[in-house]
A and B are shown apart, each in its own frame.
Chain A
Amino acid sequence: MAKDISYEAVMSRKNEIMKNAIGIDYELFESGGIAFDYERMMREAGYSLDEIQEIQGSTGVGNTPILEMRNLTALARKYAPKGKGARIFIKDEAANPSGSFKARRAANAVYHAKRMGYKGVIAATSGNYGAAVASQAAMAGLKCIVVQECYDSKMVGQPEILEKQRVCEAYGAEVVQLSVGPELFYTFLLLLEETGYFNASLYTPFGIAGVETLGYELVMQFRERLGKDPDKVLITHAGGGNVTGTARGIIKSGAENVEVVGASVDLSGLHMASDYDFNRKSFTTGHTGFGIPFATWPDRADVPRNAARPLRYLDRYIFVKQGEVFYITEALSVLEGIERGPAGNTSLTAAFALSQEMDENQTIIVQETEYTGAGKHPMPQISFAKQNGIEILFGDSEDEVPGKNIIFPDSPGRIKVRDFDLDKARASYVRNAIKNYDKKEINKGDFDFIVKDAKSNDDFVSGILNELEVTVK
């Protein structure tokens, strides 16, 4: 009998489809409540650092160079108080096959899929991860389907996403393109069911463990080059995998005093599921539209338990403006002679501002760059923004309104650190946990888990629970 493929029927088969497509029995790690055994999941369902280094090494992933941004540092010092202006470094992840750090996540996922006997892999992504999975699948001889949200209802595509379509097809993948809407997940489930392929989700333990090598490698290279650990590591934050994997790798390197700083492009006010807003943003990732929801509730992903849990690892979270990131992308080209990004330069923009509040003898490292080219470059992205009625101005970056204008700083001195209060994110996380599990009473295990998952403390969490009239047994 043919299966019912109506929206409701397919969504109701979600758990069964996912279990077959990932091959992880998440029940093993569950407690029956809010808590689950995160570390056990990472240990038993993932791979060890040594194994991952070997898997990645065999496909040419990793060991990317660290480059010092001497001119950007000099420019930061021009605007910093005397004696301030930390040295800025970048890890040139664009040197990976497929041109971004996402190759690390994909290498692991595709290796695992092949080992488990899957004939192909599917990934739901409009970003660099699609290119990475397609590239790795090509090397492994597996079939590959990439599902992307690409067009608005007038079939106008984001130039950056159109480029991702091209590059995925260049690596031999099938690209299924959709108009705006979260029901992409329905098409994704249908494809998993039809093909029996592996769900190369961004959020499995394999994917996240794949990023651990980035944090580990970065510290090792830094020690070799400078004889010390970096003071701050800057990470562009969207879905949380980049922050989580990198921070876990840093911990595994034994670097205890490194501050982990996330950075996102401020897109507040734009609705991520809006057909109209879709083409009025100039960043398709690395922005607050993913960064905040995934920090405050990671288990919204396409797997039952997300291995990316950014709030556990973030020491600080900074917002930058669209105009500032394009500005720093230009600076990287004309002052450092390296054309990369733009989305990957979100954390570089934050680093430029943050450097100015640090001492000259301190160091800051931006842990990624990404490839650039047609569609995915300041020129086509600003040109596209103009076509969509976005005003392009010079002035104070503070005045930028996402969806209305992009303001290039009229001086590099305008690029400022804007801290997002992580306690706000922690409070939202606690509220989401209680709401999603619909609890009036939780046990000590759930309480301890929440404290840990929110990188918080007993008093803070108790305070929020009191507000919600939730008791701890």
Chain B
Amino acid sequence: MEVAKKGDWVQIHQIVLKPEERAEHLPEDTKRVPLELWVKGFAQNEAKIGEEIQIETVTGRKMVGELFAINPKYIHDFGDYVPELTKIDMQLKNELFGGEK
């Protein structure tokens, strides 16, 4: 089990509003689930993933939540290759410069 030590860069998770506390006039699918929050900061105490931890964010705010990740990485990238885009590129070049092989 991963353990965060004091001073580690971590991400915490909180439930802001339970389903029954949510605003009126929400679509049903949104009303069924809680409003959740994630934020990053420096661990103020030792904790395992899923345990309560206090953090200090980069603006100096103290927050308590459940430890979600240690050194959380950015997971977005360029995704899977999309061959349809290559088809568009070839079509466009052919439209404008076609015939000049």
Contact = CB atoms under 8 A, between A and B. Distances in A.
B64 interface: no
Given A274-B30, A275-B30, A408-B84, A335 B93 contact: yes
Given A163-B76, A386-B80, A275 B37 contact: no
Contacts, number: 154
Contact of B17 (A75, A172, A173, A183): A183
B57 interface: yes
Contact of A187 (B22, B26, B37, B41): B37
Given A271-B27, A377-B78, A382-B79, A335 B35 contact: no
A174 B37 contact: no
9 contacts: A155-B38, A162-B75, A182-B26, A275-B33, A277-B27, A326-B88, A330-B89, A335-B93, A381-B79
A457 interface: no
Nearest to A79: B95
A75 B96 CA distance: 6
A204 to B, nearest CB: 21
A178 B16 contact: yes
- Size bracket, chain A contacts: 35 or more
Nearest to B33: A153
Contacts of B23: 7, 181-183
Contacts of B1: none
Given A174-B39, A186-B17, A143 B59 contact: yes
A181 B84 contact: no
A180 B85 CA distance: 30
A189 B64 CA distance: 18
B29 A276 contact: yes
A428 B89 CA distance: 41
A384 B75 CA distance: 13
A452 B60 CA distance: 46
A331 B87 CA distance: 12
Interface in B7-29: 16-17, 21-23, 26-27, 29
B16 A186 contact: yes
Nearest to A327: B88
B39 A176 contact: yes
Given A75-B95, A183-B16, A183-B35, A195 B59 contact: yes
A392 B84 CA distance: 8
